[in-house]
Amino acid sequence: RGTGFVAAVDLGATSGRVMLGHVGHNELSVRPVARFPNGPVHRADGLHWDIEALRGHVMAGLAAAVREEPSVASIGVDSWAVDYALIKDGRMLGEPFHYRDDRNLAAVERVHSLVSPAELYAANGLQHLPFNTLFQFSAEESLDADAFLLIPDLFGYWLTGRAFAERTNASTTGLLSVTSGLWDDALIERLGLPRSIFPTLVDPGTSLGPLLPEVALEIGAELSVTAVGSHDTASAVVAVPAATDDFAYISCGTWGLVGVELEHPVLTEASRAANFTNEGGVDGRVRFLHNVMGLWLLSESLRAWGRDDLPELLAAAASVSGSVPVFDANDPAFLAPGDMPDRIATWFRERGIQPPASEVEMVRSIVESLAVAFADAVRTASELSGKDVSVIHLVGGGSQNELLCQLTADRSGLPVLAGPVEATAIGNVLVQARALGLASGSLESLRSLVAAAFSPRRYLPR
């Protein structure tokens, strides 16, 4: 086996990046080539993604990657889940909607009048999130299209001209059978959806083919594209530097995805009631987890205050000595953009609780509330799945937040191992590298590569 370079495109809901990964015998490193902001854009008909801007950033980033490392062999793309574009005659029908748009609220009722929540859970194993793709489909005026493509698959299509549905991300649509891993034809029919728009499924590690000639010209090299765990959370969990099996993970970026990895889904009534999801992972693993509102609460608060000094605010929040009130970080009231500190204050007032008095105390309250929700979700994941948990791996952007890591250790009573920050891009790199023969073995051996290259920072409960 040799060594080689791959390019990882990782699109998060608040920022995107193109990274170069170098993988070889017992070697793993990544370095950023391009970073760019992302976020909801308000249009006349609701919240969307500025997909053309993202496309421009991705193409420029890939061209820069090729200039830096002309031998780069493959590209993999991951992003947030559930959102999609409709394609007809090779063209995109409008800009993709943002999952935080409120068009989904009425759609949820329509879907539930056709298929009950319990039947949905038995079929797809997903926690109820109002933005799961099946609800968004029900909110569409028309599904008259040749295909729907989830965001990473849309980039795959732009890069190669081929339309596929990568399986880990397809599992977040609500229309993939949790037991067979195939599109759920019976459910699709009951919901009256056109079966013809569902692309052929592929697994992570599958080659999607070479770049289209015009794209190769634009990027400056003839590369191939490889399917990765294209749901960002699937890629992040690949790169958890676990040394043992008894770990929980928190993939903390815009969201905090908190759970355990399993071989089989848990479809009990108790896990449905606790709103735990069974998402498809790389190598057929199951991500049994709960979505907790994550750094979104902080980034939206800073935006409302017109501040961009998160490190300073966190340092001040860490030295708040009195107690601050804690809110339910799972409350759907915090889903939409705008006025976050006001909405949190309202949450407290509605319950007769005095809201935090200053911006610093508000930050402390948010971080405490996230830590409480993280600790609860770890405990519940372990109880519902029967899996022992003796350590929590916190990966992603949130792993840089020392206060959050320490409070999560304190509230859970478990050690928290923090990092890597770029877990998602690293998982993306590793799945490509394995497909190219630059790395080999199970997820456990990929994870030991991560542990050796990015040793995590340890926080013990106080």
Residues annotated as part of the active site: 232
- Give dist(CA 256, CA 370) in Å, integer: 8
The 3-state DSSP class for residue 266 equals: coil
Is residue 255 near ligand LFR by the rule CB under 6 A?
Answer: yes
**H helices within 69-116, ranges in order?**
104-114
Give the SS3 label for residue 275. coil
Residue with Cβ nearer ligand LFR (211 or 258): 258
- Rounded CA gap, 373 and 408, in Å? 9
Binding mask 88-107 for ligand LFR (x = CB under 6 A): -----------x--------
Beta bridge partner(s), residue 85: 149
Distance separating alpha carbons of residues 223 and 356, to the nearest angstrom: 53
Q: Minimum CB separation from ligand LFR for residue 78, in Å?
A: 9
- How far apart (Å, rounded) are the C-alpha atoms in residues 56 and 143? 27
Is residue 82 part of the contact set for ligand LFR (CB under 6 A)? yes
Rounded least distance, CB 151 to ligand LFR, Å: 9
Nearer to ligand LFR, 281 or 356 (CB): 281
Looking at 24-32, 188-196, 252-260, 314-322, which segment touches ligand LFR (CB under 6 A)? Answer: 252-260
Please identify, using beta-carbon distances, which residue of 85 and 439 lies nearer to ligand LFR.
Answer: 85
Check: CB of residue 1 under 8 Å from CB of residue 407: no
CB of 199 to ligand LFR, least distance (A): 18
The residue nearest ligand LFR at its CB is 81
By rule CB under 6 A, what count of residues binds ligand LFR?
Answer: 14
- Which span sits near ligand LFR by CB under 6 A: 31-39, 227-235, 326-334, 359-367? 227-235
Residues 272-331, interacting with ligand LFR (CB under 6 A): 291
| Contact residue for ligand LFR among 5, 80, 148, 247 (CB under 6 A) | 80
Binding piece for ligand LFR, criterion CB under 6 A, among 36-44, 152-160, 250-258, 386-394: 250-258
Residue 228 or 257 with smaller CB distance to ligand LFR: 257
- Binding residue for ligand LFR, selected from 257, 260, 282, 375, defined by CB under 6 A: 257
Give the number of C-alpha atoms closer than 13 A to the C-alpha of residue 348, restricted to the C-beta side.
18
> How crowded is the C-beta side of 12, counted as CA atoms within 13 Å?
27
Helix intervals (H) in 413-457? 423-436, 443-453
- Interior angle at CA 455, CA 453 and CA 458, nearest 5: 170
- Cα 434 to Cα 77, 105, 282, 304, 420: the distances in Å are 15, 41, 12, 43, 19
How far is it, in rounded angstroms, from Cα 215 to Cα 62? 10
Instruction: Specify the amino acid at residue 69.
Output: E
Q: Which of 38, 254, 271, 408 binds ligand LFR (CB under 6 A)?
A: 254
What is the Cα Rg of the chain in Å? 21
Considering beta carbons, is residue 126 or 313 the nearer one to ligand LFR? 126
Q: Of the ranges 66-74, 158-166, 225-233, 263-271, which one interacts with ligand LFR (CB under 6 A)?
A: 225-233
Is 51 or 82 the residue whose CB approaches ligand LFR more closely?
Answer: 82
Question: And the tokens for 178?
Answer: 């949790």
Rule CB under 6 A: which residues touch ligand LFR?
12-13, 80-82, 99, 231-233, 253-255, 257, 291
